[in-house]
């Protein structure tokens, strides 16, 4: 399966098998940092519609083409989607997603060399009712030196409250009055 994104200078990206997972998106030519590579397209549905659509899905199958736009809207790239749906997660990404006027774009945050796979950090939201093995279900295989092992957003670590030190009693000054008297001598 090779699909390409075209521009005036020829295709910028192509879809092919990925060492990270399934298919991936690869640069066909150099892509400069700051370049808007592709828009994430698909059917726009509500969160409730997405839940209903995928309610029978195996809970251990983390593979979806859903992208949250806002509190009301999700893009399901599994229906009417484009090549953007094949961009894999990476813990040391070369791209990022950005939402502009309720449209989602994938842009390069580093210069990408020809042949290099595009990746952005999915940072999938954690929920209070997540199963204990949720990180295993959303395991990351990006291979980055900084890989956190999960496509989920990093766990929030509660900052320990600083221990309050008991107020120290003021030390009595010895011979304080005498020192005052002897200063002038």
Query: Quick one: pLDDT at residue 183?
Result: 43
Q: Is the pLDDT of residue 158 over 70?
A: no
* 168 in a structural domain: no
Domain count, the chain: 1
pLDDT at 57: 79
Q: Evaluate whether residue 101 is within a structural domain.
A: yes
Question: What average pLDDT does the segment 98-127 reach?
Answer: 94
Count other Cβ atoms within 10 Å, centred on residue 7.
Answer: 13
Higher local confidence (pLDDT), 6 or 117 = 117
> What is the model's pLDDT at position 30?
96
Q: 158 Cβ partners below 8 Å, 6+ apart?
A: none
In a domain, 171, yes or no: no
- The model's confidence at residue 176, banded by pLDDT at 50, 70 and 90, is very low
Confidence category of residue 6, pLDDT binned at 50, 70, 90? low
Domain range enclosing 92: 4-159
In this structure, what CATH number is given to the domain that contains residue 125? 2.170.270.10
What is the C-alpha separation between 42 and 146, in angstroms, rounded?
31
Domain membership flag for residue 180: no
- Give me the pLDDT at residue 167, please: 63
* Bigger pLDDT: 117 vs 182: 117
- Least confident range of 47-51, 88-92, 160-164: 160-164
Mean confidence (pLDDT) of the chain = 84
Beta bridge partners of 103: 100
The 10s digit of each residue's pLDDT in 30-44 is 999 999 999 999 999
Establish if 177 belongs to a structural domain: no
CA dihedral 32, 17, 4, 119 (to 10 degrees): -30
Position 85 in a domain: yes
179 found inside a domain: no
pLDDT at 172 over 70: no
CA distances (Å), origin 111, targets 28, 87, 108:
13, 16, 7
When pLDDT is cut at 50, 70 and 90, the band that residue 182 belongs to is very low
Asked if residue 164 belongs to a domain, the reply is no
Distance CA 141, CA 90 (A): 8
Model pTM above 0.85:
no
pLDDT tens per residue across span 16-75: 999 998 999 999 999 999 999 999 999 999 999 998 998 887 766 667 799 999 999 999
DSSP string, the chain: ---EE--TTS-SEEEEE-SSSSEEEEESS-B-TT-EEEE--SEEE-HHHHHHHTTTS-TT-----EEE-SSS-EEETTTT--GGGGPEE-SS-SEEEEEETTEEEEEESS-B-TTPBPEE---BPP-TT--TTHHHHTB-----TT--SBSBPPPPPPPPPPPPPPPPPPPPPTTHHHHHHHHT-
């Amino acid at each position: 399966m090779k699909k390409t994104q075209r521009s005036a200078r020829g295709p910028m990206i192509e879809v092919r098998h990925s060492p990270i997972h399934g298919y991936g998106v690869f640069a066909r030519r150099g892509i400069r940092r700051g370049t808007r590579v592709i828009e994430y397209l698909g059917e726009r549905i509500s969160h409730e519609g997405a839940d209903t659509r995928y309610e029978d899905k195996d809970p251990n199958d983390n593979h979806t083409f859903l992208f949250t736009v806002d509190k009301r809207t999700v893009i399901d790239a599994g229906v009417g989607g484009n090549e953007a749906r094949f961009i894999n997660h990476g813990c040391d990404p070369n791209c990022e997603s950005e939402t502009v006027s309720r449209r989602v774009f994938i842009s390069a945050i580093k210069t990408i060399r020809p042949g290099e796979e595009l990746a952005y950090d999915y940072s999938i939201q954690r929920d209070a009712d997540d199963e204990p093995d949720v990180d295993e279900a959303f395991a990351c295989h990006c291979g980055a030196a900084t890989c956190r092992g999960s496509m989920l957003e990093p766990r929030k670590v509660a900052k320990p409250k600083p221990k309050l030190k008991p107020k120290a009693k003021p030390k009595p000054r010895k011979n304080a009055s005498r020192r005052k008297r002897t200063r002038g001598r």
